Amino acid sequence: MADIINEAQRCLKCKKPFCKEGCPVGTDIPIIMEMFLEGRMDEAGEKLFKNNPLSAICALICPHEKNCMGHCILNRKGAPIKFYEVESYISSFYLEKAKLQRQADNGHLVGIIGAGPAGLTLAILLAGRGYRVTIIDSKDKIGGVLRYGIPEFRLPKALLDRLLKRMTELGIQFRPNTLIGPTITIDDMFRDGYDAIFIGTGVWNPNRLRIPGETLGNVHFAIDYLKNPDSYEGLGDHVIIIGAGNVAMDAARTILRKSSAKVDIIFFRGREEVTALEEELELAEVDGVKMNYYLNTIKIESDGIIVEPVLKIENEDGTITYKNDSEHPYKMTSTSVIIAIGQGALSNIVKNTKQIDTTQKGLIQTTNSGGATTRPGVYAAGDVVSGAKTVVEAVAATKRVADEIDQYIQNKYKA
């Protein structure tokens, strides 16, 4: 607690807070710091929650070094303020005891498909405005990627259970284990009286390497592994992970916590081009992950992978090109291989719904910043629109969607 107070006291309360500008949801950091130091905990918690319903979650998993910390003016002379520590303390305290208020029921029903960051944010914002909200999700519990894609050691699932309790108090209904598309469709939902429908289903379709060996029994996708690591008991004593994003780091660190296996990460570029956050990469290395750079995987076998070295060539004009050294492939042995090269959107909804256009990557196409799709009354935001991004970016996008849906329904029912 003393360290948290010290962080708040270090804050310069800048008149032009760059930290606020660096936050995707514009958190008013200096004012929150003042409230905290003055003992106005409930007020600070309410302000954080109204601005970002997932504040308690973002405080734990945001890319702070890119957002608030990365923009802190103290970066110029020393250590930036760790606002997330203060935010976590306040938001967790608030979520434990908050009595959320909602406006009088306005008689309108909104359906939300997907209980991930975007869906949860929209549900809370619209319920607070008096809308009746139903969240429908294919999983048995709320959270989406927060529950089924981020390890417990990074995000305690009890926090999501606490959030569900607050949401239930707002009158939000949750229908689990229900896949929209093949059986129940968006057309069915409109028939049953939904005034608007939101799609926030995320990206759960793992990208393939499209090389020989991907169907073997020792091969798994990282996004599937993270859904329920305890069901993967046969990984053996040496796991190779192909890919170097945040999902790869989460999978690697989870394996190290749940087994005595050795973990190698294979990446076809150098350290400077790793897509994972620098902090996540460093923590993975501290945990014991071995990074292997400039290796291109060309085949998976039952006892390992075949790789080719990647040559980094500096051209005379200063540009960099890469070339696979196909003349010197070699084998790296392992008991299991996990593929972590990104994910795309599932097509259950769009294949069974007319008028919802998608991009070439299979993501839902929106026509404006408010998340309107090409079908009237249907909106979308989060990873299913943007591809895999951060939770706080999903919150920022969904706040705009809440205003858009509110305006759409009010205009629809004007006399």
Contacts of residue 153, Cβ cutoff 8 Å, sequence gap at least 6: 253, 254, 257
Q: Is the same domain home to 364 and 273?
A: no
Q: What is the CATH number of the domain that holds 6?
A: 1.10.1060.10
Q: Is the same domain home to 183 and 216?
A: no
Judge whether 104 lies within some domain.
Answer: no
Judge whether 75 lies within some domain.
Answer: yes
Task: Specify the higher pLDDT residue, 317 or 380.
Answer: 380
Q: At which of 294, 321, 343 does a domain end?
A: 343
Identify the pLDDT of residue 255: 98
Dump pLDDT digits (tens) for 204-219.
999 999 999 999 999 9
Encoding tokens for residue 366? 């929106």
Q: Is the same domain home to 234 and 337?
A: yes
Q: Is the same domain home to 114 and 69?
A: no
Contacts of residue 328, Cβ cutoff 8 Å, sequence gap at least 6: 308, 309
Judge whether 102 lies within some domain.
Answer: no
What is the distance, to the nearest Å, from the Cα of residue 350 to the centroid of all Cα atoms in its chain?
22
How many domains are contained in the chain? 3
Do 164 and 332 contact (CB within 8 A), yes or no? no
First and final C-alpha spacing in the chain: 55
Judge whether 240 lies within some domain.
Answer: yes
Identify the pLDDT of residue 415: 54
Q: Is the same domain home to 321 and 291?
A: yes
Judge whether 239 lies within some domain.
Answer: yes
Encoding tokens for residue 56? 């308690």
Q: Is the same domain home to 240 and 218?
A: yes
What is the distance, to the nearest Å, from the Cα of residue 194 to the centroid of all Cα atoms in its chain?
27
Q: Is the same domain home to 189 and 262?
A: no
Evaluate if residue 2 carries a pLDDT over 80: no
Q: Is the same domain home to 191 and 113?
A: yes
At position 263, the amino acid (one-letter code) is V
Evaluate if residue 317 carries a pLDDT over 90: no
Judge whether 48 lies within some domain.
Answer: yes
Length of the chain equals 415
Q: What is the mean pLDDT of residues 308-320?
A: 91
Encoding tokens for residue 238? 């040496």
Cα 79 to Cα 36, 83, 85, 119: the distances in Å are 21, 12, 14, 35
Q: What is the CATH number of the domain that holds 125?
A: 3.50.50.60
Encoding tokens for residue 264? 């190698």
Q: Is the same domain home to 264 and 295?
A: yes
Q: Is the same domain home to 212 and 223?
A: yes
Evaluate if residue 173 carries a pLDDT over 60: yes
Judge whether 103 lies within some domain.
Answer: no
Summary mean pLDDT of the chain: 95
Evaluate if residue 20 carries a pLDDT over 60: yes
Q: At which of 343, 371, 387 does a domain end?
A: 343
Q: Is the same domain home to 157 and 84?
A: no
Dump pLDDT digits (tens) for 75-86.
887 899 999 999
* pTM check: above 0.75: yes
Enumerate the H helices of 26-137 as residue ranges. 29-37, 41-51, 55-61, 68-71, 83-97, 117-128
Give the β-pairing of 330-333 and 343-344: unpaired
103-124 residues labelled b (16+ CB within 10 A) or e (exposed): eeebebbbbbbbbbbbbbbbbb
Q: At which of 343, 365, 380 does a domain end?
A: 343
> For the CA atoms of 215, 221, 225, 231, what is the dihedral angle to 10 degrees?
0
Q: What is the mean pLDDT of residues 52-73?
A: 95
Structural domain including 29 reads: 2-97
Confidence band (pLDDT; 50, 70, 90) for 272?
very high
Confidence band (pLDDT; 50, 70, 90) for 157?
very high
Q: Is the same domain home to 78 and 167?
A: no
Q: What is the mean pLDDT of residues 185-195?
A: 97
**Is 135 strand, coil or helix?**
strand
